A = this chain, B = another copy of it.
Amino acid sequence: MKLSAKGQYGVRAMVVLALNYRAGPMPIKEIAARENISSQYLEQIFLELRRADLISSVRGARGGYILARDPQEIKIGDIVRVLEGPIAPVDCVLEGSEEVCERTGDCLTRGVWEKLRDRITEVLDDISLEDMISTRKVSG
């Protein structure tokens, strides 16, 4: 039930991009240094995020990365899904796909995992980058 380092790094880096949103592109090295992440590893993470259209890149000197849209339009769930795959506590209840498991129907555990998955996605899809940077306190 843990996020991998990749997912955590991704979220932290995206928060930095959100803070820097109005100032234009930000070089990856600056982000990596600030967040203490290997810049080469962060490159891989940003590659995935760019392919998913969450960020865009500006090449050349004075280039860097910038959010692809406003911070309030990007939810934590969007980031997590790109870096960790579909959200589900167990494979039987993967988002999107119905009926993965042959035991569905008489399975007594499925209900719990579905409920858990739904609560998790509720939280992650409710909070945007804007929410994270604008309030210190996420009440709840």
- A residues contacting B by CB (< 8 A) are 1-3, 8, 11-12, 15, 76, 80, 84, 87-91, 108-109, 111-112, 114-116, 118-120, 122-124, 127, 132-133, 136-138, 140
Contacts and interface: CB of A to CB of B under 8 A. Distances in A.
Contacts of A88: 1-2
A108 B132 contact: yes
A89 B2 contact: yes
Residue in A116, A132, A138 whose Cβ sees the most chain B Cβ within 10 Å: A116
A88 B120 CA distance: 12
Nearest to A126: B115
Contacts of A116: 120, 123-124
Contacts of A89: 1-3
8 contacts: A2-B88, A2-B89, A11-B109, A11-B112, A111-B132, A116-B123, A116-B124, A119-B119
Contacts of A87: 1
Contact of A1 (B80, B111, B114, B138): B80
A113 to B, nearest CB: 8
Nearest to A105: B136
Contact of A90 (B8, B127, B136): B8
B140 A109 contact: no
Nearest to A116: B123
